[in-house]
Amino acid sequence: MTVMDSFCNTDPYTIMTCVQRQRLLFSFSGNPSSDLNASIIDHIEKQLRTTEDPLRVQKRVVNIVIEALQNMYHHQHPLEDCFTGDGSTILMVGRTSGGYIVTTGNYVDNDSELSLDQRLRELEILSDIELRERHVAALKSGLRTKKGAGLGLIEMARRSNNNIQHKLTKISNKLSFFSLHIEIKF
């Protein structure tokens, strides 16, 4: 049984035991905003400070969450075209025996799906040195849009030692659901 299977069950005790077993530290589903993102980051930082995990790991988790929230905020598809009534994004942060997992999801236009998939596939095969070089090149290029310089995915790949998996699920002719699963190991 997966975490999501358990949440479909309306029994609160089942949900509570599933969250405890999966060591879920934080879960959010809704519409991101800059104020809300700041509150989410603050909450996650407080949660991490209660652990005895290395500070460098805690910082990597927070930085990845920041990048993920910014990506969801800037690249989310307008809510009116989504099938949910209360939000178009999801963020979960969990702890495993070997580190942390950050999972995100949001709706994206099918037009941007191919370039997103291609960029992630390119990043997956890069070494740490190549990721650093790609990061520097993106900074030097000066190609910035109102949504940034495209550094978020590179930064998440760098901070997770390229432990990123992604999935694009086609929802309709206009929409796909983009999921990222990022592991941060101790």
Percentage of the chain modeled with pLDDT above 70: 78
Please report the pLDDT score of residue 49 as a whole number. Answer: 93
Angstrom distance (rounded) from CA 104 to CA 152: 13
Domain that holds residue 33: 3-185
pLDDT in tens, 84-114: 555 578 899 999 888 999 999 888 888 877 7
Residue with tokens 């099938």: 83
Please tell me the predicted confidence (pLDDT) of residue 169: 87
Q: Say if residue 178's pLDDT is above 70.
A: yes
Dihedral angle computed from the Cα positions of residues 7, 11, 17 and 20, in that order, rounded to the nearest 10 degrees: 50
- What is the domain count for the chain? 1
Does residue 7 surpass a pLDDT of 70?
no
Which positions ≥6 away from 105 have C-beta within 8 Å?
A: 89, 90, 177, 178, 179, 180
**What residues are paired with 181 via a beta bridge?**
103, 165
* pLDDT for the residue 139: 82
pLDDT tens column, 47-85: 999 999 999 999 999 999 999 998 888 877 665 544 555
Name the DSSP class of 78: P
What is the per-residue pLDDT for 25? Answer: 87
Phi/psi of residue 151, each to 5°?
Answer: -85, -15
Q: What is the pLDDT of residue 32?
A: 80
Q: What span, in angstroms and rounded, lies between the C-alpha atoms of 111 and 134?
A: 24
Bridge partners, residue 29, by sequence: 90
Q: What is the pTM of this model?
A: 0.81
Report the 10 Å Cβ neighbour count for 1. Answer: 9
Residue 169, domain CATH: 3.30.565.10
Question: What was the pLDDT predicted at 3?
Answer: 41
Residue linked to tokens 């530290």: 25
